[in-house]
A and B are shown apart, each in its own frame.
Chain A
Amino acid sequence: MVVPITHFNAQTRIRRKRTLPAEGQILVRRDQNVNAMDSVGTCYLPGRHEMVDLYQALGLSRKTPLDTITDRKAGETLQKGDVLAKTGKVFKRIVRAPGDCYIDSIEDGKALLEILDSPIELKAGIDGIIREVTPNWSVVIETFGCLIQGVWGNGKMASGLLYNTAKTETEEFTRSCVDVTMRGAVVAGGFCLHQDALEAAFDFSLRGLILSSISSHLIGYVQQLEIPVILLEGFGAIPFNPLAFQLFEKYDRNDASVNACEWDVYRGERPEVVIPLPGSGADPREGGHIRQGTRVRVMVPPYTGAVGIVVQIREGSTTIHSGLRGECADVKFDRIPTTSFPVSNLDILE
């Protein structure tokens, strides 16, 4: 069976495309170095609309020719306070733009204005070099380094010094794991079951949190946090997988960028941590077969998060403990006995 691969890769080439949600302006050029929090593009999203009746606002009859009160045309962009229309007599009356706006249309003396909100900024998300630019739309950023992919994120993005608080894979992330020396850092911890530990992230001004898992009752709180939170395993008391833990130990106090986007299985955007490193690396594989020798992770109980090696793909359909039947693989682990799992409960780790 071919399945997507989750990456816990110490050294690889990482290329990420960043695309504006609407046509706008790309602020960087090819081969330019960027930091994770740099803006690489900007655009306006469709704003709210306002209808201004020019005749009514000027107190004029609708028989007045429109070109005597305004020379504005559809398609023009105005700044707040710009004259939209005016009477030309001694006692002038003026209608001004209520905000920075775009004139959608002027018909029958009524101007339909689209009020332009603040432009949105497209962040680089990783430290790297701009490799491709599609004018007005997108860039491709490339870097080399460590790539750690998660399964859930709260939609935020940040970067900072990585600070690993977990001394073992199975350690719980509690309030006592965080202190003032971690201010401005991206903190990696184990599983989190209590809200006070997450409140500490706010109290000590952390830049981001990388956790193995959280209790599902904390989802609402995490979604409201201003800092990015990435879960590498999911929900419950699931320890770090050994690969992730080794990487956090190895790259403790390195710069890391955290993109805690929602996992979009269709577009392949995943929550991820990137630690830029000198050197080069090959492109990571995106999909692969589960077969003998493949390193896999168990995604649901029993043994959620355990990482092992497939020793055998069983012939045909096998009855599993729940009584259901399916294609199964026997997986060998370091610390638990070799166990058979439905292949659909495994993902490939590389």
Chain B
Amino acid sequence: MRTLAWAVVAALFALLPLAVHSDVVLTVLVFACLQGMLAASFNLIFGFTGQLSMFHAAAFGIAAYATHLSMEHLQVSFWIGTLLAACLVAVLSLIVGSICFRFRLREFYFAVVTLAFSEMARLLILNWNSVTNGSLGINLQEKPTVWWPGAGVVKLDGTVPWYYVALAGLALTLLVCHRLVHSWMGRCFAAIRLNDALGDALGINVFRYKLAAFMVGSVIAAVTGSLYAYYLGSIEPGFLSVDQSLAIVAMVLLGGRRSVAAPVFGAFLLTALPHVIHFPAEVRSIVYGAILIATILLLPRGIYGTVSAVLRRG
């Protein structure tokens, strides 16, 4: 029944470009799908394993730069570049995660140390002018190519092909997260979230599973970073900022952190909001703050948690 419902939702999204021709709407949807990938992968670390990682934006941004640099200097295609970037982020998250979890940093201390590492990465990218062009960022002219049924190898240009790429990425992310959370590994994650000392005593290798969640989440963020950068057509050090990490946290909280798909809902809402209602930048900041505060104080379980609680009661 659930599987069927999800298949219908996926089919509806896949057929959407036939009904919606507005470029603006589709563009917003592409960004929403990409943000949804970020939110869902972050929730694997935060919502399911209970670790407030501030490294997510760094994984996202580092991969964006690494993809571009490997394409330029190693002359590889976009997809190989993405693969290399994902490998780089896997190694970096292995290092950062090992340090944090080996020294048993928890809660706030974990957040602060991951934040410190991502700030260091941001400062490096910001100041390594010869390679990253500093605060100005880089314009990306090239477009990745894909094999399209019936058309052969084509450049990914225009909104509709990108919509399908982003949608496929989101579907794949959700599938991976779903399989992971509902496996024995997911139960280890839950044990760590609820009480990691008890999990340790029960024979769960806490270090290994924390690291696994952290690495899988970061690698998905890395792939998202490559796609995002090449869809946007530019990269800048702001990709790695604290604000970016916090925006992801806000999406997850708004959607709900106890479900695989709910963060995507939060991502769609927060991405679409500025396009639906036009505000000056200052007012947008105020509205964003108000939404964050209202969500935490009034809907502590997010939209999904609140709605499902109401449905169960009614």
Co-assembled chains A and B: no
Binding site for B on A (CB under 8 A): none
